[in-house]
Amino acid sequence: MSATPDWVTADTDTERPSIARFYDYLLGGTHHLEVDRELGRKAIRAAPGLILLIRENRKFLRRTVKHALDAGVDQFLDIGSGIPARGSIHETARKAGSRARVAYVDIDPVAVSHGTEILADDPDAVSVLGDVFEPEAILTDPQIRALIDFDRPVMLLILNVIHFFPDEKVHPALAAYRSRLAPGSMLGLSVALDGTSSAEAIDSLYRQEYEEFTLRSREQIEALFGDFELLEPGLVYPPQWRPEDPGRVVADPERYSSLVGVARKP
């Protein structure tokens, strides 16, 4: 039996795959266990384009950060952030010359612990333990409140998380976040789309590990933004959202199996 890595904290669940560690494996990170790698291997076999999707979602994240900064929004709350790996919000902002304030939140103690290490030399970024479905706890967390001013616009990002949970959990939580954000704030989402071959291929696999995995239609995903106004180009596949090369033609866009969008609070 292999030794437990020294980064595994006492409260880490090592019996079930962690969403954060699973994505870390797909992104080529180093903080994952065999149970996470096994799920990753199965997911890649079921949907060979999954790694491409994950990478395109990371590129979408970077473009949303740059868009928010250009619009004057310099505060970011990333819930379900996973481990702040290469290309995360704070890194993108720093490369753009911004001292934007960034709060990462995840329910996985490994993600938070490693995130704290990564951010040790960045006074304008924190990694906090929190549950996306406990918005009050997150919005009143002392570390987050010391960094983020909710009376000013904030960009809230919840990427690759929503599809692991049903509407009865998701809608009340999102409504709570939207109600607390100041006018001019933005909400960015990435959600698995029903009806695509890639999503259907991993649907049954994910349901074995995450019982509440939920695929949604375009209309159901749009409803997640509530009364926020979707920014152009609306809900699209990840590489189609404000690409750095506007002339790029995305071949077979359905293979990306999820829709992304950013909306602004009036």
Q: What is the pLDDT of residues 223-233, one digit of tens each?
A: 999 999 999 99
The string of DSSP letters for 53-107 reads HHHHHHHHHHHHHHHHHHTT--EEEEET--S--TT-HHHHHHHTT---EEEEEES
The residue among 134 and 23 whose pLDDT is bigger is: 134
Q: In this predicted structure, what is the pLDDT of residue 211? A: 60
Residue type, 109: P
33 forms beta bridges with: none
pLDDT digits (tens, 9 = 90+) for 113-137: 888 988 999 999 999 999 999 999 9
Q: Look at residue 10 and tell me if it is in a domain.
A: no
Residue 262: both structure tokens together:
């950013």
Number of domains in the chain: 1
Mean of per-residue pLDDT scores for the chain: 87
Look at residue 28 and tell me whether its pLDDT is greater than 60: yes
- Report how far residue 210's alpha carbon sits from residue 192's, in angstroms, rounded to the nearest whole number: 14
Q: Taking the mean position of all CA atoms in its chain, how far away is CA 95? A: 20
Sign of CA dihedral 165, 132, 151, 124: negative
Q: Look at residue 1 and tell me if it is in a domain.
A: no
Give percent above pLDDT 70 in the chain: 85
Q: Look at residue 119 and tell me if it is in a domain.
A: yes
Interval 240-258 mean pLDDT: 80
Q: Look at residue 4 and tell me if it is in a domain.
A: no
Q: In this predicted structure, what is the pLDDT of residue 8? A: 66
Interval 30-48 mean pLDDT: 74
Q: In this predicted structure, what is the pLDDT of residue 1? A: 42
Q: Look at residue 231 and tell me if it is in a domain.
A: yes
Q: In this predicted structure, what is the pLDDT of residue 204? A: 64
> What pTM was estimated for this model as a whole?
0.85
Residue 32: both structure tokens together:
């994952």
Q: Look at residue 198 and tell me if it is in a domain.
A: yes
pLDDT bin (cut points 50, 70, 90) of residue 83 is confident
Give percent above pLDDT 90 in the chain: 57
Q: Look at residue 151 and tell me if it is in a domain.
A: yes
Which structural domain range is residue 164 located in?
19-243+250-264
Among 15-24, 79-88, 236-245, which range has the highest average pLDDT? 236-245
| Run of H or E including 262 | strand 258-264
Q: In this predicted structure, what is the pLDDT of residue 261? A: 98
pLDDT digits (tens, 9 = 90+) for 199-209: 666 666 666 66
The residue among 170 and 195 whose pLDDT is bigger is: 170
For residue 96, give the CATH number of its domain: 3.40.50.150
Q: Look at residue 230 and tell me if it is in a domain.
A: yes
Cα distance between the two ends of the chain = 56
Q: In this predicted structure, what is the pLDDT of residue 233? A: 96
Q: Which residues contact 45 (CB under 8 A, 6 or more apart)?
A: none
